[in-house]
Structure 1
Amino acid sequence: MLNFLKKKIALVWAKKHVKETELFKQNAVEDQERLLLSLIKKAEKTLFGRTYRFEEIQSVADFQKTVPIADYEDLKPYIEKIKKGQRNILWTDTPEYFAKTSGTTSGTKYIPISKEGMPYQIAAAQSAIFHYIDKKNNADFVNGKMIFLQGSPELEEINGIKTGRLSGIVAHHIPNYLQKNRLPSLKTNLIDDWEKKVDEIVKETEKQNMTLISGIPPWLIMYFEKLIERNGKKITELFPNLQLIITGGVNYEPYREKMNELLGKQIDTAQTFPASEGFFAFQDDYQKEGLLLLTNHGIFYEFVPLEEYEKPEAKRLTLKDVELNKDYALILTTNSGLWAYSIGDVVRFISKNPYRILVSGRTKHFTSAFGEHVIAIEVEESMKATVEKFPAQITEFHLAPQVNPTEGLPYHEWFIEFEKEPENIEAFRKNLDEEMRKRNTYYDDLISGNVLQPLIITKLKKNAFQEYAKSEGKLGGQNKIPRLANDRKIGDFLEEFRN
């Protein structure tokens, strides 16, 4: 009876919540402009607000003229002041948290999360779950155990500001009604070594009634493989009541076939787009592609056409100006004190009513050694189309340019860790190259003009990508491996794992 009531209440709450969200979907443009001006008003007396004369800003256009696009290095002097205990620097008072993230150029980054910002992170995650319950009319998972593969919830303090990984911070804000169903235990969650942690999670969960599992795809795969190795059963045999996989951080599609193989059958997935800087979007419609952009969650968005990114006169567009199927660098202004902040993600709008996006790449992760500017979504879609045509399973892959081959023309080298190889690897390779040529006209021109030879595949031994992540100290948690690069740093490491 109690289980029936919990499920019924969840269905009612979800329906009510989804109905309430219709308003922000309709008023996105107006809400965004109002939000920016309210953020500016609140931060007028901060050091940043005084520096950029916030009291004179009366419009979005004023803001764009006055406040330049910034990356972490630009904001770092302000963040260092906050770390030393100074108040009212980027936002009123001091942040509630610093979310620690790993940067490629800045070392460890400390992203401020304000008292106003944290509730939006939690509300967005809850909203994603409510949309799933309502759209699928399925709340069965509320009666089982749930696991969130995440970083350690142990937090340090920097001048009174609690500091740790975002997923560990979020662990302190799980609603009470979910706490008793949540795994793993605190003791296991505190283990730093990711491989040991996953081993303990396997032991804690293998006999449980798991109904919801959340994490980024590479680490879900690692968890599932260890479960199968210990128990000799597919995941849905081990967890027959598993209802939902919640994932984010990277595009799920290239992992879907591998995940389905490990699961044993298809399970519902809810895709999300969270980051330390904010929770930006989630899947709200299971009949349509794309993620709903959260335009009323304390974040003002700007969009710079990717081809103009980092140019002095780059256009800064707002929601009303964006075009469909065009790639934009994502720029954020948040209620935690990030101002015109370039997060490094690239998005593509596939709907404007409501505003839905795909995450199409990273501003720093591309391959353009020959002027082709290939981005993540092009390689991911090409791989997905090829895997569907030639039955194969991919664990992970990475594209790197080979500018100076020992013989012949330069080429794109695809390092691929296969779970299951295609029967005809040469046909697979040719098809992958054709799919890339369809999606990137510059690449097609380079092949046609005999500047490049068609791509080459280098097969890798099992766990090659895990070994790379381990070598960089980025095994587990929210860490993810770039799908492509403009140099051979990752490629040269993977060379050692040729199969």
Structure 2
Amino acid sequence: MELLNAVLTWFMEKRFRQIEHFRKYPHETQRDVFRQLIEEARPTEWGKKYGYADIDSPETYRERVPISTYEQLSPWIERVLRGEQNVLWPSRIRWFSKSSGTTNARSKFIPVSDESLEECHYKGGKDLLSMYVHNRPDTKLFSGKGLTIGGSLQNNDLAEGTRIGDVSAIIMHNLPIWAQMIRTPSIETALMSDWEPKIERMARETIGENVTSFSGVPTWTIVLIERILELTGKRNILEVWPNLELFAHGAVSFTPYRQLFADLIPSSQMHYMEIYNASEGFFGIQDDLSLPDQLLLLLDYGVYYEFIPTEELGREHPRTLSLDEVELHKNYALVISTNAGLWRYLIGDTVRFTSLSPYRIRISGRTKNFINAFGEEVIVENAEQAIAEACRQTDAVMADFTAAPVYLGTSNRGGHEWIIEFEKEPTDLAQFTHLLDDHLRQINSDYDAKRSHDLALVAPVVHAVPPGTFYNWMKRRGKLGGQHKVPRLFNSRQYVDEIKEMLQEA
């Protein structure tokens, strides 16, 4: 394994020189991606409908091709799901990523082309390792195995020879032999669909392995680690995997989980790298270990980016910006065009640029996951920062949370209601609530204005719920494991009321 570690480390450093190229020439790289996408899609039905044959600039592209949500693009995707080809992309589509997000309560099925699999998703995994090796040239990462917590696959009944599943499962199923050799658990276990027996088998299979890295959604990774500690009777995971050095995490902000992982993995040699990978593509990697929550935007991945200032959202024809037009510290909704046939697709995430040279972003929230019932405009990033600060000041450790507005009624004022599951509860929940409210007021001027003198919002209400509450709620919703994640904020009371009702039934 030492020889393999040396060979792979050399290979990863070689790729870093290519990463440096798009860091140095970002606009030229994006123009090349744009031209290639338009040229390849000209013979498709979509390309013919929108006249790709004579689109010669991003400006013409913006004028001619509409921005699409999943609802608007779904009739085209439905045709591909049923086996039609050359609809959105010229090469044969054999895979569909079932997104954990929902649109009007239905799953999203995202086409995954061979090109996007190879030039985006796989490249993201390799570049993650390249950037880590560049940061840690003395790494022994490849002397052991990487543990990935993924999803599952199933046949697509609408079209023979095609399959549907979490993007992580699609990637694992198609990994080359050399990559399968350095990962764990077995592919049969990794692709199991039943989450609870899957966790059990993963725990038992990996206990005896030399795991040096793992990746996944923090929530479900904690479930696996805690089960392994139960089986072994160990105090922390380093007693099981002493050579563990890297956790690559994504899907949710790591900020509220940082202390919990520090307790589970008490080592100054443990490193954390955030990634921005989704069903639609691999978009960002933390390229500097000293800059948490800041992700290098990946520009040579077959993805062309546009950005909508969030104040433009909701307009019939929102203004979009290209990469060379964005500004620091402003919120933008992300629009992508990809080598799997997603055209000017509003992915649903919002980002802020923390650097323009190179282009680094921070994921700030979702276009539909926020609370704005009274003009307070609280986004996910605000909520996660406030909870993390309240936990820090009260020595608490958060496991999961969600929040919703309390709407004005004849007998109550407007406000926010939070449901928080703690790994370690604050000794004084009232103090925690005050700190949460106070920090939100410091970082969000709209919230502060509405809270002033209880003008439009009264102080928030926080419920500390028993351990396992969110796990049981997600299980009840059929959303265990894979890339499923607890929705943080919602303008509707649906999720908060469901959890409260479940607790009353117990």
Q: Which moved more, 1:89-98 or 1:301-310?
A: 89-98
User: Which residue is 1:116 aligned to?
Assistant: 115
Q: 2:12, 2:126 within 8 Å by CA — same for their partners in 1?
A: no
**Paired residue secondary structure (1:384):** helix
User: Which residue is 2:343 aligned to?
Assistant: 339
Q: Distance in 1 between matches of 2:362 and 2:368?
A: 17
- Coordinate RMSD, CA, aligned: 1.8
**Paired residue secondary structure (2:88):** coil
Flag the 1:344–1:130 CA change in 2: closer, same or farther, 3 A. same
Match for residue 14 of structure 1 among 12, 20, 39: 12
Matched, 1:279 2:282: yes
In the superposition, the TM-score normalised over structure 2's length comes to 0.94
Q: Which moved more, 1:158-167 or 1:300-309?
A: 158-167
Residue 407 of structure 1: CA displacement? 4.7
Residue by residue over 1:113-165, the C-alpha shift from the partner in whole angstroms, topping out at 9 and shown as x without a partner, is 11211102101111111110121224312111321111125554624333322
Q: 1:394, 1:418 within 8 Å by CA — same for their partners in 2?
A: yes
Flag the 1:478–1:334 CA change in 2: closer, same or farther, 3 A. same
Match for residue 307 of structure 2 among 303, 308, 313: 303
**Paired residue secondary structure (1:116):** helix
Q: 2:272, 2:289 within 8 Å by CA — same for their partners in 1?
A: no
Q: Distance in 1 between matches of 2:69 and 2:296?
A: 25
The one-letter amino acid paired with 2:258 is R
Residue 330 of structure 1: CA displacement? 0.5
Q: Distance in 2 between matches of 1:227 and 1:14?
A: 31
Residue 465 of structure 1: CA displacement? 0.8
Residue by residue over 1:183-225, the C-alpha shift from the partner in whole angstroms, topping out at 9 and shown as x without a partner, is 2123323432101110111111122222111111000011111
Match for residue 382 of structure 2 among 378, 384, 395: 378
Q: Distance in 1 between matches of 2:189 and 2:91?
A: 35
Flag the 1:181–1:313 CA change in 2: closer, same or farther, 3 A. closer
Q: Distance in 2 between matches of 1:89 and 1:131?
A: 36
The one-letter amino acid paired with 1:260 is A
Flag the 1:426–1:108 CA change in 2: closer, same or farther, 3 A. closer
Q: Distance in 2 between matches of 1:145 and 1:287?
A: 25
Q: 1:328, 1:346 within 8 Å by CA — same for their partners in 2?
A: yes
User: Which residue is 2:43 aligned to?
Assistant: 45
1:128-207 superposed matches below 5 A: 128-153=128-153, 155-156=155-156, 158-207=159-208
Q: Distance in 2 between matches of 1:144 and 1:38?
A: 39
Q: How many residue pairs are counted as aligned between the two chains? A: 497
1:221-236 superposed matches below 5 A: 221-233=222-234, 234-236=236-238
Q: 1:96, 1:113 within 8 Å by CA — same for their partners in 2?
A: yes
Residue 25 of structure 1: CA displacement? 0.7
In the superposition, the TM-score normalised over structure 1's length comes to 0.95
Q: Distance in 2 between matches of 1:5 and 1:82?
A: 45
The one-letter amino acid paired with 2:376 is E
Match for residue 454 of structure 1 among 429, 452, 459: 459
Q: Distance in 2 between matches of 1:205 and 1:4?
A: 20
Q: 2:155, 2:164 within 8 Å by CA — same for their partners in 1?
A: yes
Flag the 1:81–1:399 CA change in 2: closer, same or farther, 3 A. same
The one-letter amino acid paired with 2:136 is K
User: Which residue is 2:86 aligned to?
Assistant: 88
Flag the 1:27–1:155 CA change in 2: closer, same or farther, 3 A. farther
Q: Distance in 2 between matches of 1:258 and 1:407?
A: 39
**Paired residue secondary structure (1:90):** coil
The one-letter amino acid paired with 2:496 is G
Match for residue 420 of structure 2 among 408, 416, 433: 416
Matched, 1:497 2:500: no
User: Which residue is 2:266 aligned to?
Assistant: 264
Residue by residue over 1:347-372, the C-alpha shift from the partner in whole angstroms, topping out at 9 and shown as x without a partner, is 11100101001111111101011111
Q: Distance in 2 between matches of 1:318 and 1:199?
A: 47
Q: Which runs of 5+ in 1 are unaligned?
A: none
The one-letter amino acid paired with 1:67 is V
Q: Distance in 2 between matches of 1:84 and 1:152?
A: 21
Sequence identity percentage: 36
The one-letter amino acid paired with 1:236 is L
The one-letter amino acid paired with 1:7 is N
Flag the 1:94–1:10 CA change in 2: closer, same or farther, 3 A. closer
Q: 1:237, 1:264 within 8 Å by CA — same for their partners in 2?
A: no
Q: Which moved more, 1:12-21 or 1:215-224?
A: 12-21
